[in-house]
A and B are shown apart, each in its own frame.
Chain A
């Protein structure tokens, strides 16, 4: 047979195919971590600049899991690990698509899709945060509005608690939810000062809002359309001053012949009250 006349070579001799095993090059170290992050069994956390300071954003293949304001990344990472129960791997920066989406969301684009990893959160919390996502940049709504909109009109306090536990502030704009009495209220991302800063950056005047609420101007109507809105609703804001009328409550507005705006739906406060 010709086979017997073939030259033999020690590298691939019949009895030592083990030499081929030497071709089993190990995978680069990051591959295992990449797999675990992609399936959501580990997270990565990286810094991201923002007007409030450096945000530390944790994410995995399912979505963004946490946004935290911190000067010390190692501490932010340790806290996230503790809260999430997942090993968290430090990263240099967000993946390009995520960084771009976050930047656009922070700039006010609502249509940017940012997947979130909200495993372990309650249905109620997720309902509250999803509703908060509907509030446009430059506008605010009271806690009671969210409570009424998600069909839990009496759960105003629980709404406040859920917003306080929002793991992804700025991405879910809990800063656009204010107290039912019209005052700006608390904020989880570094306190109420930051809440005012962000609202101001979004084009609102928090002091003027609180002043108006204290004077009893809780809703804003237009004498030409006879429609009543939340004061920061885009339809209320484009009403000229001379046609603007303030109401203390929806009942007062209704008595004057005004109907609630279909966009900002101020009916909810009445239900919450």
Chain B
């Protein structure tokens, strides 16, 4: 079901359709929160909280407004705001790497389950996650929303309220920083 049809069905029957929304969007809400906070516990709480808030908001919307809702960027906005609120009230830095593996959020190395070899090696994924979490926020947020969550630049622009051109530059810059960081750790590994 695409976003438009989902929105129409929500407008007709919120209680009967909301579970479909949850099932369709819970993973991406979680993924955004996980990569923005770097903390699996926070990510679970934020994903749950975001969907609960979404439901409560929808209860107050007129059907007309629900029909016109663009669900993907709307949910991303809620998740993003919750991540920002949490970052504001938290002083301790999150530890992005090992806890993810410990909590089972980050799959362990398992070459057999990846016959096509398309997915990253686990070690690479962990390093990438760590470097992503270390990016400055102004790059990390657009990179996560564009490439982890796969929002279009138009949707990204709606979520972040910045022009598409600016966002393209920020994503580009974020990727460049990631590339340098990845190459850097590789050199360390080689020289170690």
Contacts and interface: CB of A to CB of B under 8 A. Distances in A.
B147 to A, nearest CB: 4
Contact of B175 (A17, A25, A32): A17
Contact of B182 (A9, A25, A41): A9
A7 B26 CA distance: 36
Contacts of A12: 128, 175, 178-179, 182
A21 B179 contact: no
A208 interface: no
Interface residues of A: mostly helix, strand, loop or mixed?
Answer: loop
Contacts of A14: 175
B176 A25 contact: no
Interface in A3-28: 3, 6-9, 11-14, 17-28
Contacts of A28: 44
Nearest to B120: A22
A78 to B, nearest CB: 20
Interface string B34-47: 11000000011001
A61 B52 CA distance: 10
Contact of A23 (B26, B35, B176): B35
A107 interface: no
A14 B18 CA distance: 37
A196 B150 CA distance: 64
B28 A24 contact: yes
Contacts of A24: 27-28, 31, 148-149
A150 B100 CA distance: 57
Given A20-B132, A31-B48, A39 B56 contact: yes
Contacts of A11: 120, 124, 128, 182
A225 B120 CA distance: 86
A100 B78 CA distance: 33
Interface residues of B: mostly helix, strand, loop or mixed?
Answer: helix
Contacts, number: 104
A201 interface: no
A181 B129 CA distance: 74
A39 B52 contact: yes
A112 interface: no
A25 B19 contact: no
Contact of A39 (B55, B176, B180): B55
B147 A26 contact: no
A151 to B, nearest CB: 32
Interface in B11-36: 15, 18-19, 22-23, 26-31, 34-35
Given A9-B182, A32-B26, A36-B19, 18 more contacts: A7-B183, A9-B183, A11-B120, A11-B124, A17-B147, A20-B128, A20-B147, A23-B31, A23-B125, A23-B132, A24-B149, A27-B26, A32-B22, A32-B23, A34-B48, A35-B26, A38-B48, A42-B19
Interface of B: 15, 18-19, 22-23, 26-31, 34-35, 43-44, 47-48, 51-52, 55-56, 100, 105-107, 119-120, 124-125, 128-129, 132, 143, 146-150, 175-176, 178-180, 182-183, 186
User: Closest 6 A-B residue pairs measured CB to CB?
Assistant: A27-B30, A24-B31, A20-B147, A7-B183, A35-B51, A39-B55
